[in-house]
Amino acid sequence: MALPEPFPQLGELIASIGEAGHRVAGMDASEGGAGNLSVCLGWPVEVRRRFPIGEDFVLPQPAPNLAGHVVLVTGSGRRLRDIRHDPEANLAAVVIGGDGRAARLHTSPRRLFERVTSEFNSHLAVHDDQVGRSGTNFHAVVHAQPPHLTYLSHIAAYRETRTLNERLLRWQPETIVNLPEGIGVLPFILPGSPALMAANIGALREHRVVLWSKHGVMARSDVSITRAVDRVEYAETAAKYEHLDLTSGGRGEGLSRDELREVVEAFNVPTTLLE
């Protein structure tokens, strides 16, 4: 889908990024400078009033579907919880040129980082892939490190996508309603690497939340960045129940498959997870 006019103003978008960072921190999913956020905008946005310092910027890879787009992204090592208090110190605006190769980096005099997030290659690649596939004019990506999901990925059985979803979707009806494709799972891949970027693109075509084993998660949304955070929260809550059950001796029943089918039918959930 695409956001309709009137499009959100830059101030509104920055405020939503600040709220998203605050919520991720509230889940204990961004210790210190961990985690990163970005939104990709497909309409004209004047960034220079908030981010007046411009410089040439080398994209980590071409993004032909993002020609003329603007990506607001967190700086490397910045605390997500600090964004809403001083967004200009913690965010940058990457204005992508008409060829999808050249770009300009816009920052504030209050900038507190040397470069944008080290995961920017994954952010950019996912934005480019999703915009190219769907034609959306808005796309948001969140990388966070929710503790219960990340812990479960240290257990070999949970690094299998089918098993993870069978174990997590059983705890609340809301989980399958809001994550109808379930949660994708990637093996451990070096953070920031081209290999992680490539695997992440494919996984986020099939899922809206992907678990990076022994590292964290990435979630996406073409509605709002807070919707992407919602998806992280639904997944982390399910993982919290699963962890609670493991530490309690595995006595919880969870929802049966028949009960899950009842939920899916009642709420018209477009899922294949129960087939």
Please list the pLDDT of the chain residue by residue as tens digits (275 residues). Answer: 789 999 999 999 999 999 999 999 999 999 999 999 999 999 999 999 999 999 999 999 999 999 999 999 999 999 999 999 999 999 999 999 999 999 999 999 999 999 999 999 999 999 999 999 999 999 999 999 999 999 999 999 999 999 999 999 999 999 999 999 999 999 999 999 999 999 999 999 999 999 999 999 999 999 999 999 999 999 999 999 999 999 999 999 999 999 999 999 999 999 999 98
| Residue ranges of domains in the chain | 10-266
Strand 184-186 relative to strand 209-212, pairing: parallel
**What are residue 108's phi and psi, to 5 degrees?**
-100, 155
Other Cβ atoms less than 10 A from the Cβ of 44: the count is 8
Q: Give the distance from CA 229 to its chain's centroid.
A: 7
Cis? peptide before 4, omega within 30° of 0: no
Instruction: Write down the pLDDT at residue 275.
Output: 87
E strand or H helix at 175: helix 173-178
Instruction: Write down the pLDDT at residue 1.
Output: 78
The rounded distance, in Å, linking the Cα atoms of 106 and 118 is 17
The rounded distance, in Å, linking the Cα atoms of 263 and 274 is 11
3.40.225.10, 3.40.50.10860, 3.50.50.60, 3.20.20.70: CATH of 10-266 = 3.40.225.10
The rounded distance, in Å, linking the Cα atoms of 36 and 230 is 15
Provide the token pair at 230: 């919602």
Starting at the edge strand that comes first in sequence, how are the strands of the sheet with 102-107 ordered? 53-58, 102-107, 91-96, 70-74, 36-41, 138-144, 216-221, 209-212, 184-186
Instruction: Write down the pLDDT at residue 173.
Output: 98
CA distances from 58 to 14, 248, 267 (A): 23, 51, 46
The rounded distance, in Å, linking the Cα atoms of 36 and 24 is 10
Please say whether the beta carbons of 37 and 76 come within 8 A. Answer: no
Torsion sign across C-alpha atoms 174, 83, 111, 88: positive
The rounded distance, in Å, linking the Cα atoms of 20 and 12 is 12
Provide the token pair at 190: 């070096």
